[in-house]
Amino acid sequence: MMLQGMESLLIASSLMIVGFLIFHKIRRRKLEKLAEHFPGPRTLPLFGNALMFLGKDMYGCFEIIRDVARNSNSGFRIWFGQDLHVYLTDPKDVENVMTNPNAIEKDHVYDYFRMVADGIFSSRGKRWWKNRKLVNPAFGTKQLEHYVATFNKHSNIFAERVRDHCGETINVLNLINAVTIDVLCESVLGIEIGAQSGKASKFVQSIGVCLDIVFKRIFNIHFHSDIVFKLSPESKIFNEHVKYLHSFTSQIISKAKAERQKMKERDRKNGELKAPPTNFMEKFLTIQEEGGELTDYDILHEVLTIIISGFDTSAMTASAVMLMLAIYPDIQEKARREAEEILSGNSASLEDINRLVYLEAVTKETLRLFGPPLFLRKIKGDVPLENCTLVEGCTTVVFVYDIHKNPKFWDSPEEFMPERFIGNSLKHRYCYLPFSSGPRNCPGQRFANVSMKLILANLLRHYKLSTHITDWSQIKMKLDVLQKPVDGYPLKIEPLR
């Protein structure tokens, strides 16, 4: 009887294994058929093209992808082991992907970011939909008007801090990190962390270390294995910095809870009605207090996601704009004249900031050249393109770098021309994607645009920017959340008067 049971179990197990292998073969055949529609480098059994990236840094990885793209007109493919990545460079195909419900999910490589901050940037399914709805209202026009006082305060502090570095050549990112994180935390989260006074330097450093290791995991296939990664020295460094980020953020939340409790007790004593939430933190805590579906885990990870995705991209963008203004003095002077004409004193309104049209064009043109290199989506069902159909199981990569420099959609794409964004319409609405698009676009893009413009305009009113770089094409880029110069953002800042 026992022998018969063992035989039945063995047969059932064998059938399951055979079934799995058949399913895998069918899935693989569909992916291979899809891959035939796209050019790409020669593959090796099991490894695909993954060995091309082995041992490369982020600059080397980016160079490989760009080399493959040069041999393609409208897309290409790269196999990372058994995973097929289809790179799209045609805005029509990109629109089909970005607007298709079968392409909403982020690829599994974003799980490496989730280990740092498991918020709306990388989360999936119902949890993403629920929390995204909570985030959207915080970046509307009414909220921006409420935030402007904070923008003014910290842009003025930044302008004063810059004075201490006049005459030096510095990597301006190290300086601007602090103002962007102070602006974000005080306005959107309602908390002061004092980054410009040096109180959050380790926090900022830990974010940078974690993001560097996340990108290293993405482009090194051996690090896709959790076991291999855990045995690496990078794993220990990563875990230490993640632990610190979570601890620091937990302290921020605990402080906010304590201050909120004091305020509620004061209002109760004075007989005042409970005021509606004015920032993210208050909103999150209110929902939790009223029995909503927000756990301490949710709050910690959404707060940390807002900080990382908001400040890091804003700081890199502002640094890149400053570098481009330094490379092109005539454009800098034009932006300065606009700032001096519109802004006066130490306080600007939202209307004033919106009138900085030329500076906004400079920022948009900078994002065309320095914006996100790519976006990844996991395909969960058929997604029709112009000449084929993406199938479930593949990863689609929107190769923004190539789209932003395609002469079909941009006149003189290799030239820095802010005027292209003044009074001209795009040749295709998906040929410019600095903040992604569709349901998973960046909810804080207006916030970033307004806060950055004021910081930059205030800087131009008081200082002249210069650099040893004479043309933007001399800058070597590497992969990051945005394209990032390998040698940083070298600037020399001098007072105008």
Phi, psi dihedral angles at 388 (to 5 degrees): -165, -175
Phi, psi dihedral angles at 119 (to 5 degrees): -110, -160
Q: What is the DSSP letter of 348?
A: -
210 labelled as ligand-binding? no
Torsion, CA 52, CA 57, CA 58, CA 62, rounded to 10: -30
Closest CA to 76 of 87, 85, 89, 65: 87
CA atoms of 117 and 108, how far apart (whole Å): 15
Reported in sequence order, the residue ranges of 308-411 that DSSP labels E, i.e. its strands, are: 375-378, 383-384, 389-390, 395-398
| Four-residue CA torsion sign, 350, 165, 161, 494 | negative
> What secondary structure, in 3-state letters, does 119-154 show?
CCCCCCHHHHHHHHHHHHHHHCHHHHHHHHHHHHHH
Contact (Cβ atoms closer than 8 angstroms) between residue 203 and residue 224:
no
Strands 463-466 and 490-495: antiparallel
- Which residue numbers belong to the known binding site for heme? 442
